[in-house]
Structure 1
């Protein structure tokens, strides 16, 4: 009897061991099917964020170029320029203050003591209207019009402009730095040539106007005296100066309005045309170093 009980006990132990092995095997298979639930550190939270090691971040050195592994960016997420880069680009388009003519070199300064043009200068959006174009009712030709905006433009008006008083205005159209490309200088010269022809043809666009060119034909500047009739029996007398040092179109206009045929109350006086043109270009050459 004791032998039979011993045998039954052994068979029961073997059966229990077999069952335990089967349960362990089933648990192992289930764990392999759901690794995320069986990780050693996830604490059973299947929605936990992956650790840093699972998604290495890119690093950017001082130069701004990313190194290492970079995660893909969302579609449509193109990089944008930094604010500093945008500001620098915009600032390079401005006309520097030092490019304006020395007011002591403007005709009639002995009488009017012109203020510094930089003090009243204003940026011009788009293509500036030169004084000659305003009086002659002219504009750039279709072949040149697209060059009329340049990279930057500014204008400075001087003088109160009372009855029979003279006023002065300087206009600068900056096409860009001519050193990298001769095309910039060619653009400025094309606008200069167009403006010169507009002055010569002023009588066609402003009926009754008279034009007297005072600069030599082969000069690197242009100067003329223009008289344009106005309504009410008045006339504008304009002394026009144009230069085009590499990359910049430069106009100095000095004018007065009075009765047609009458002499201005303040007689015309000033340096020679060539000296005025030299003063116009001197500041540009020094500041922009473009000629």
Structure 2
């Protein structure tokens, strides 16, 4: 009987020890600091890992309802499907290296005045993004935009194309500018065209002359002579047109560099009919027979 009692006592002590340890751990879990709570001295635990948090480098799927974490080296929201969804204007999110993000409505180079002398290359080969830039006549005239005109121009999808370098005696330069896909379409395109027409009119001054050959609600053609009272005046032939939701500009200009030619360009201006120039500009945007 004493041996049985002693064995039972030892068995009881062996069972009581794990129970006491379990109760001790439970007490610490219930009363101790949480994973994200501070210690008594104000510091946070240095190495606490929650089993519900997935490491950003993990390749497995996220838990239901948990926000997805982008893979290392990538930024969320930059995929091709989101490039245009948050655009505040048609110009936002464009890729200058993507052919589909470029315009395909340039006038035929053979229709640019003086092609017989210069053999202008195709405009799309020199096209570049020009969002936020001014039209060429604005640069020459030092034009000051109104806030409305500036806002309309900056909201457009704009590109410029300048064919050839015209070195040596080929001293005429050409450039076409297209402001396309204006939001709210025709109304804003017409408003931008009207603002530009007013700027062109304001270009005239004591040192600059502006002579119109066409001037209506959709077309303006003018010859501008800048620094007309100097030895090297710049002559600019300017064409502006609005068609659909597009505003188009064609500019040809020259600054003679020689003193023995009467300060005239080496190639005489041929004086093409304005109607033929405007038709060449607008046909790629609005083919004949289409309502624009």
TM tier relative to shorter chain: 0.5 to 0.7
Query: Which residue number corresponds to residue 39 of structure 1?
Result: none
**Considering only aligned residues, what root-mean-square deviation do their CA atoms show, in Å?**
4.0
Aligned length: 246
Alignment partner of 1:157 is 2:156: no
Match of 2:118 in 1: 112
Task: Indicate the residue corresponding to 1:229 in structure 2.
Answer: 227
1:244 match: secondary structure: strand
Map of 2:149 onto structure 1:
144
Q: Shift in Å at residue 117 of structure 1? A: 1.6
Q: By how many angstroms is 1:83 displaced?
A: 5.0
Question: Quick one: structure 1 residues 48 and 11, their matched pair in 2 at CA, closer, same or farther if it must change by over 3 Å?
Answer: farther
Matches within 5 A, 1:90-101: 90-91=94-95, 96-101=102-107
The aligned residue for residue 14 of structure 2 is: 23
Match of 1:214 in 2: 213
TM-score of the superposed pair, with normalisation by structure 2 = 0.66
Q: How far has the Cα of 1:96 moved from its partner?
A: 1.6
Q: Where does structure 1 lack aligned partners over 5 or more consecutive residues?
A: 1-9, 36-46, 59-64, 74-78
Distance 2:145 2:67 in 1: 53
Bigger mean CA deviation after superposition, 262-271 or 104-113: 262-271
**Matched-pair contact (CA < 8 Å) for 1:153–1:172:** yes
Query: 1:72 and 1:239 mapped to 2: Cα distance?
Result: 58
Distance 1:173 1:187 in 2: 11
Q: In proportion to residue count, which structure has more helix?
A: 1
Larger RCO (CA within 8 A; separation ≥ 6): 1
Q: Partner of 1:248 in structure 2?
A: 246
Q: Name the TM-score, length of structure 1 as normaliser.
A: 0.67
Cα gap change, 1:14/1:90 in structure 2, threshold over 3 Å: closer, same or farther? same
